Every structure is written in structure tokens, then in C-alpha cells.
Amino acid sequence: MADFVFADDYRLGQSPTRRFYEFFLKGYIHKHNNLMGVIQGFSSLILFDDTINSEVRESAEQMQTSAKAATDLNRDILGATGCARCEPAPMQLSDVLPFWKSKAEEIGAASRVGVELNVREPLPPVMADSTRLGETFFHLVRNAVEASTSVPGSSIAIDLFPPGEASQGGTVDLFIRNRCEPLDEETLRRYFLPFETSKGSEHFGIGLTAASILAGDMGTRLGLRSSEGTMTAWLAIPVAG
């Protein structure tokens, strides 16, 4: 597994400085969302008027779409800056897998990308924050699906292994694989940085950053590997106990 590039540099320490920026960013995003809410509200009122011309309607729709996108970006920023509270505790992955599978298939279907989930039993309890682990998983799924859209008829594969099968043990190992162009180590490291993306300006370029920070806060290790036209994300989740 030495050819994986890990996001270990994105483990945030617990310090008064971090707590200050958490407080600052949460307040800023709250104020910003209030402004976006006003913009969405007024644009909706404009769109209720059937007498407006097509140019005004198009502008109002763009305002509404942009305000919603800004709100979505704000939500992702909270996770990518360590402002999302993580409280790891023992949990059973079997309790969340049905929802994970359904949501992953929904993400894939929206882009016409197939999703295959394979689970090797038995899986022991893991130490993680159930909500944040789900967010990390969905960030990785979206990243894989978006990368797969450039390959017609492509799909992504998700595999879960019990301790000792895919690594030396002590972790439940989750792998997400998709087809991609060959990428070097420097490019993989850059993808962990905020707002770095190869998918165009319509993408925030913050999904892998959020996944890295959330994983680090839970004591979970995240790595990426590009080999023979396949990108693999590896999430090593510590076993509880």
C-alpha cells in the first residue's frame, strides 16, 4: 500500500487558534447564509410574477441558482475547515450501509454512473462519528462519480473488508474505485487542497478537502492511488475497542 498518497497533513490539532477560527467561520457562514436566503426569497417573488419578460426571468433564475449554490458551498466549507463537530464512538457499519448504498446509487444515477457495493462479512464495530463518516463517504462517492462521467458507460466499485484482509489489521478498509486518466503523485497531493479540481468551474473542488479533514478528526486515514487507469480512495476506519 506504499503507493497510496495519504492526507495525513490535514489532521488539525486542537488548539485555541483552531477554536477561534471555528467560531469565526461559523459566524461568517451564518451571516452569509442569511444574505443568500434574502436573495433566494426575492428571486422567488420575482419568478411568481407571470408578467415579467424572459430576460428578467432568466436573470432571477440565475440569482436563485447562484444563491443556492453559495449555500451548498458554505455547508461544505464547514466540514473542510474543521468546523463540523466530530464525536467518535463505537458504531456498527451494518446500521448505516443500507442508507449509504441507496444514497450512493442516487448520486450515481444522477450522472448515469453505475454503483456497485461489495461487503465482506463479518465487519466488527468501528470507532467513528456516524454522521461525519457518512459525509466523508458521500464526498468520496461524488468525487468518483464525477470523475467517471468522462468515461461513457463507466461505473464505480465500493468494497468493504474486515480487519486483516486488505491491510495488516486494526481497521475496516473501505475502497472506492473508478476509471480515470493516469495521475502522478504530485497531482494526487494537490487534489487534497481546497478549490483544486480538474472537473471545471462548476465544481467547488472542495470534496476531497472536506473528506480529508473529517477523516482526520475521526482518527481515520484517507489515501488516494492512481494505477493503470484506476483511481482508488482508501478509507481505513479504526476498529472499536
At 1 the pLDDT is: 46
Alpha-carbon dihedral sign for residues 183, 184, 185, 190 = negative
CA distance 232 to 152: 19
End residue of a domain, out of 25, 54, 80:
80
Tell whether 169 and 189 lie within a shared domain: yes
**The three grid cell numbers given for residue 38, joined into one nine-digit string:** 434574502
pLDDT computed for residue 69 by the predictor: 87
Those residues of the chain that have pLDDT short of 50 are 1-2
Cα separation, 117 vs 100, in Å, equals 10
- One domain, residues 50 and 101: no
Q: With residue 224 as reference, give the H or E element that holds it.
A: strand 221-227
For the chain, the domain total comes to 2
What pLDDT shows up at residue 241? 78
Task: Identify the residue whose cell numbers are 468522462.
Answer: 150
Q: Same domain for 107 and 173?
A: yes
Q: Residue 52: which domain range?
A: 16-80
